[in-house]
Structure 1
Amino acid sequence: MSENVNVLENSIDGYFQVSLQEDGCYLTVFPPRDGGVPVDEALIFEELNKREINHCDKVLVQQVIREAAGKSILIAPAEAEPVIRVLVSRDKMEATLQIEVQGPVRPALQDKVMEQIAKSGVTFGVDADAIHTAINQPGREIIFARGQQPIHGNNAYIQYFVSTESQGRPLEMADGRVDFKNLNLFTVVQPGDLLAQKYPATQGEQGINVLGQVLPAKPGKDLLLPMGKNVEVGEPNQLVASIAGQVQIVNKKVSVIPLIEIKGDVDFSTGNIEFVGSVNIRGSVQPGFFVKAEGNVDVAGTVSGGIVEGKNVIIKRGIQGMSRGYIHARENLITQFIENATVSAGNEVQVSEAILHSRVSAGKKVVVEGKRGLITGGTISAGEEIRAQNVGNHMAVPTELEVGVNPPLREEYQNLRTEIRKVEVSLDQTQKALTILKAMNQNTMTQDKREMMLKLTKAQFHLVGQLGNMRKRWEEIEAALEEMKAGRIKVANTLYPGVKVIIGTLIKPIRETVQFACLFAEDGEIRVGTFK
C-alpha cells in the first residue's frame, strides 16, 4: 500500500515524492532535466514536518537530495508501539513498570503509560519520578508504586517498680567493705508506693496496598494488672501498695505481705532484719544481730546478745542479754526469763520464770508469776505495778524495785508543757497583729497588708487547733501520772533483805524478810500491807 503525498513535476526541474509504507517513510528525489532546477531541500523538510515525520534521518535525507537518483529510500522507520508491562506483586504491596520499544516510539508515550497503569488498578503509592525513569530507560524494570504496610498494635506490658533481684546480697558500705549482717533479704514498701504500671495495648494503624485496598491492623493483646494481696489500683493502670509490708512477686502477681517469716535463726544466713510489718522467727536471734519491726516480733527460740524492737515482742525461750544489746516493745513484752539484759516495754513486761541481774522497765506493769516467779539483782521499774513470787534471795543480792514512775511519759509531759507555752506566745502575737490590721480602714488598706491579714488569719486557726491537741495530750499524761502515784509492789511469797523499794519519791530498804506483802505509799511513807 502506498500513498503519493506530494509531487512537484516539471519537465525541466527536479522533483520529489514522499510515501508512507508499513515499514516507514520513503523519499524519492528525481533529478532535473535539460538544465532544470534541482529539488529545494527546504521544501522536502517542510513537507516532512507537515506530516509530523520528525524522527527521520536528516543526514540521509540530505544525501538522497544530493544524489537525486530517483530511487525510493527509507528515511524514517515506522514508529513502534511500545510494550508497556505493569506487574503487581502477589501481596499487592508493590507494582513494577517495564517499557520495551523497538525503533522510534510514537509520541504521547507518557499518556499511554498512565493509561496502562490505570487499567492495572494501581492507585496508591505511585511515584511519578519512577515512571519517568522507566520511560527514559526502556527495558529496565522499575518499582513505581509501593503500598503501606499496616502497623500492628503493641501488646500491653507491665513495668515493675520493685525488684527482688538484689535480695540476699550483702550491703556494700561507702568504704567498699561488705556488711554481711545486712543481706537485703526483703523488699519493703509503704502504703501508696507504686509497685507496677500497665501500659495498655494499642490498636495499630491500618495499611493500604497499591490497589487502594485497606489492610486492617491487628490490635495488641491486653493484660490484667498483676494484682495479688494487699494491693490496689491507684491512678489508672497503676498498682500501689495498700499496706506497709514485704513485696512478693509470685507467678508475676505482686503482693504485699505484712509478715516476714524466718524459718531458722537470725544470723549470717539472714543478716539483720528491719521490717515495717511483723516478724516471725522460728529459731533464735544470735549475738550481734538485730530485728526491728513496726509490727509484732515473735521469736520461738531465745535472744542472746542481740537487739529486738517491735510493737509486741514475744520471746518464748527467754532473753540472755550477755550484757549487750537490748529488747524494746512499744506495747507488751512476753518471755520465759530475762538474764543480764536491758528490756523495756510501753505497757507490760510478762515473765513466766525469772528476771536475773537485768534492767527492766515498763510503762505500766512488770509481772513475774510463773512457777519460780523470781526477781533477783538489777533494777526493775514500772509505772503502776511490779508483781512477783519472790524478790531478792537469801544472799541479799542488791535488787531495786521502783513504781510510780514512767520516765518517757514524764519527759513527754515536760516537753509538752514547754511547747504549749511557745504556741501560746505565738498565738498571742498573731492575735495582736490581727487586731491592729482589722482596726485599719479596709478601703485604703494596701495589697501587702491585705495579704498579711489573710496569712495571719490562717496562722491563727492553725495555732488554735495545735494548741487544743497539745492541751488534750497534756491532760491525758497528767491523768496517767496521777494513777501512777498509787503504784504497788506485790510479792506473793518472799521479799528478801537487800531489796530497795522506791515508790514515787519515797525509798524503803528491806532489812528483814517479808512474806506475802504488798508495798504502797501512804501518808508520805512506804507501808507494807498484806498481799491481795
Structure 2
Amino acid sequence: MSLDSQLAGEEAQIEEPKPQFDLTVSVDSMLAFLRVKPANADQVVTYDEVVDYLTQKGITYGICEDDIRDFCETKKFYTELLCAKGDLPVDGEDGSITYNFSTNTDFRPKERADGTVDFRDLDMVKNIAKGEELCRITPPVPGKDGTDVFNRTVPFKPGRSPLLPGGINTAVSEDGLALIAEVDGCINFTSSRIDVSEVFIVRGDVNSASGNINSIGSIIVQGDVREGFSVKAGKDISIHGMTEGAIIEAEGNITISNGMNGMGKGSLKAGGNIVGKYFENSVLTANGDIYADVLMNCRATAGGSIILKGNKASLIGGKYEAGQKIVAHNIGTGTSKATKVSIQSPKLNDLLVIGSEEESMEALEQQLTNAKNDLEDFQSKFADLRAQIRADNQMEPEKQSQMIKAAIIKKAKMADEVQGIKDKLKIASEKKNSLSEFKIVGSSVVYIGTKMSIGPFNLTLMNDYSNMKFYANADEIVFSPVLPSDF
C-alpha cells in the first residue's frame, strides 16, 4: 500500500464533529424552538439530522417540515427555529338562555308613526298562558381537543350550562331545557328568577307612570285609575281607590272600593259582578249582578240583578236593565229627567207566553168551586141512587149492576176533574210566583215620572209610590206592597 493510500484511509476514519442542537419547549408544550451551532462554517446540517434529533427528544407532532428544510438549506443557524407547533384545544362555548318575553324593565312610552308618544302603552305587564315556555336553554357547544408537540392530547374546557331561573308557578320541561308557566298570569322577572303571578299588583295609581294595565290574570290597583287609562284582566279586578273616566274590563268580577265618576266616557264590563260604592255618568255591563249604594245618570245592564244597598241605596237618573230584579230604597228623581228601569230576560218572556195561553187563576178557582159542588151533590145522592136501583124488582140484576157501575165511573170522573183543576191551579200559582220574582222594588219611594218596562209591558208612574214592588202578570205591570222576601 502506498503512503498516499494509507493517509487517505486514516482521514476517512476520523469523524467530522457534529453540530450542537439546543432545544427549548414552551411551558404548555405547544411550541418547540431549536438553535443549531455547526462545528465549522462549512458544516452542512441536513433536514433528516434535525428531525432525528427532535424524534430522540420526543418531539413527534406538528413538525414544521418546510421551515426546517428552508432553515437547513439557507443555513440560518444564527436564528432560532420554530421547529414544531402543537394544536391548541378549542374550548366549548357556554350555553345561553333565550327568553320568550321582553326582559326590558325600563318602561318607556312608545313612539307612534307620526312621531308623537303614547304614554298609555308602556307594556308593563308581561302575560303568559299556562303551559307556555318562559325561556329555553341553548346547550353548550362542544369544543375540540388539542395535541402538543409530544403528541399528547390536550383536553378542551367544556362550556358551562346555565341554570333555569325557576320561581313561583313555574316548572321545568321534560327535556330539562325549558321553563314552563304552570298558571295563567303575569311574569315577574329578575336576572336570577322568574315568577308567574296570578295577580298583578299596581302599587299606586294607574296613570302615565304605569300606562294601561292588561293582564291575563287578576289585577289589584292599590290606588286610583286616572282619566283616559284602561285596566283589563282575564280574571278579577280590584281597585282600592276610585276611578275617573277610565275603561275597566274583567272576565271575572270588578270591585271598586270608592266608586267611579265616568265623566260620560268611562265604562265597566264584567263577566261576573260589578261592586262599588257609587257610579256616576258611567256605562256598566255585568253578566252577573251590580251592587252599589248610588247609581246616578248611568247606563247599566246586568244579566242578574241590580241591587242598591247602603245609606242612600238610590237609583237616580239614567237607564237600568236587569235580568232578574232591581232593588233600591229610592228610584227616580221626581224631576223632568226620567229614570228608566227595565226587567228583561228570556225566562220571563217564556213565562209570560205560557201564562197568556192558559186560563186565569180566577177562572180556575171558579171552575174548582163548581166542580167540588157538583161532586159533593152527586156524592150525597149516590147512596140513594144505588138503593133505588137495587130496590127496583122490575129491573134485571144485570141491568142493575150496569147502572151502579156507571154511577161509580161518573163519580170517579168528577173526582178526577176536581183534581185536574187543582193541578192547573198549582201550576198557575207557581207561574204567578215565578213571574213575581222578576220585579222592581222600591222600599222607600219610587218617584213620579219613573219609566218602567217588564218584558213587553211598559208603565210610566203618574204618582209617587212608597214601599212598593212592581212585576208583570200575563196582561200588564201590577204592583203590591214590599215583603221581607223581596230583598
User: In the aligned structure 2, how far is the partner of 1:302 from the partner of 1:95?
Assistant: 81
Q: Which stretches in structure 2 are left out of the alignment for 5+ residues? A: 351-433
Per-residue Cα deviation, 1:436-473 (whole angstroms, up to 9, x for no partner): xxxxxxxxxxxxxxxxxxxxxxxxxxxxxxxxxxxxxx
One of 289, 296, 302 as aligned partner of 1:362? 302
Report the counterpart of residue 130 of structure 1 in structure 2. 67
Q: Distance between the aligned counterparts of 1:392 and 1:99, measured in 2? A: 116
Q: Which has the larger radius of gyration?
A: 1
What CA deviation, in whole Å up to 9, does each residue of 1:124-162 have, x standing for no partner? 112322221232133133212112222333333323332
SS at match of 1:115: helix
State the partner residue of 2:452. Answer: 501
Does residue 117 of structure 2 align to residue 118 of structure 1? Answer: no
Flag the 1:194–1:167 CA change in 2: closer, same or farther, 3 A. farther
1:170 aligns with 2:158: no
Question: What's the offset of the Cα at 1:249?
Answer: 1.4
- Unmatched runs of 5 consecutive residues or more in structure 1: 7-17, 26-50, 52-76, 411-482
Aligned counterparts, 1:53-452, within 5 A: 79-101=16-38, 102-105=40-43, 109-138=46-75, 139=77, 140-165=79-104, 167-202=106-141, 204-234=143-173, 236=175, 237-310=177-250, 311-351=252-292, 353-395=293-335, 397-405=337-345
Gap change, CA 1:287 and 1:109, over 3 Å in 2: closer
Give the match for residue 522 of structure 1. Answer: 473
Give the whole-Å Cα distance in 2 for the aligned partners of 1:484 and 1:89. 102
Structure 1 residue 388: deviation in Å? 1.2
Partner of 1:20: 8
- CA gap 1:369/1:217 in 2 versus in 1, 3 angstroms: same
Give the aligned partner of residue 3 of structure 2.
4
Partners in 2 of 1:110 and 1:356 — Cα distance? 106
Report the alpha carbon displacement of residue 361 of structure 1 after superposing the two structures with TM.
Answer: 0.9
C-alpha contact (below 8 Å) 1:167/1:187 kept by paired residues: no
SS in 2 for 1:322: strand
Aligned residue identity for 1:150: P
Alpha-carbon distance, 1:192 to partner? 4.3
Is the contact made by 1:317 and 1:335 (CA closer than 8 Å) also made in structure 2? Answer: yes
Structure 2 distance, partners of 1:373, 1:203, is 73
> Deviations along 1:295-349, whole A, 9 cap, x unmatched?
2111111112221111211011112122222111121100111222211111110
Counterpart residue identity of residue 326, structure 1: S
Q: TM-score, normalised by structure 2?
A: 0.73
RMSD (CA atoms): 3.1
Match of 1:498, SS? coil
Q: Distance in 1 between matches of 2:157 and 2:339?
A: 82
Q: How many residues align?
A: 394
8 Å Cα contact 2:126-2:215 kept in structure 1: no
Would you say the 8 A contact 2:290–2:307 is kept in 1? yes
Map Cα deviations across residues 189-248 of structure 1 (whole Å, 9 max, x no partner): 334444322223455333222112222333333332111223333473122433333222
Deviations 1:55-90 (A, max 9, x none): xxxxxxxxxxxxxxxxxxxxxx98553334443333
What amino acid is aligned across from residue 509 of structure 1 in structure 2?
Answer: T
**Does 1:512 find its partner at 2:463?**
yes
Amino acid at match of 2:230: F
CA drift of 1:527 comes to: 1.4
| Cα distance change of structure 1 residues 131 and 357 upon mapping to structure 2, 3 Å threshold | same
Find the counterpart in structure 2 of residue 475 from structure 1. Answer: none
Residue deviations 1:90-123 (CA, integer Å, cap 9, x gap): 33211223333325547x9444333222211111
Instruction: Letter of the 1:20 partner, please give it.
Output: A
**1:418 match:** none
The percentage of counterpart residues that share the same residue type is: 27
Which structure would you say has the larger RCO, counting Cα contacts within 8 Å and 6 or more residues apart? 2
Cα 1:113/1:272, change in 2 over 3 Å: closer
Q: 1:288 to 1:484 in 2, by over 3 A?
A: farther
Deviation of 1:369 after TM superposition, in Å, equals 2.0
Mapped contact 1:491–1:517 kept (Cα < 8 A): yes
- The alpha-carbon distance between structure 1 residues 172 and 243, as it changes in their structure 2 partners (threshold 3 A), is farther
Q: Is the 8 A contact 2:333 2:339 kept in 1?
A: no
Give a deviation string over 1:148-199, Cα, whole Å, max 9, x none.
2223333333233322326421121111110122222233333444432222
What residue number does 1:415 align with?
none
Q: Whole-Å Cα distance in 1 between the matches of residues 310 and 245 of structure 2?
A: 24
For residues 267 and 81 of structure 1, what CA distance do their matches in structure 2 show? 92
Q: Deviations over 1:270-312 (max 9, x none)?
A: 2222222222111212222222222211111111222111121
CA–CA distance in structure 2, aligned partners of residues 196 and 511 of structure 1: 68
Task: Mark the CA change 1:387 to 1:167 in structure 2 (over 3 Å): closer, same or farther.
Answer: farther
CA distance in 1, matches of 2:154, 2:27: 14
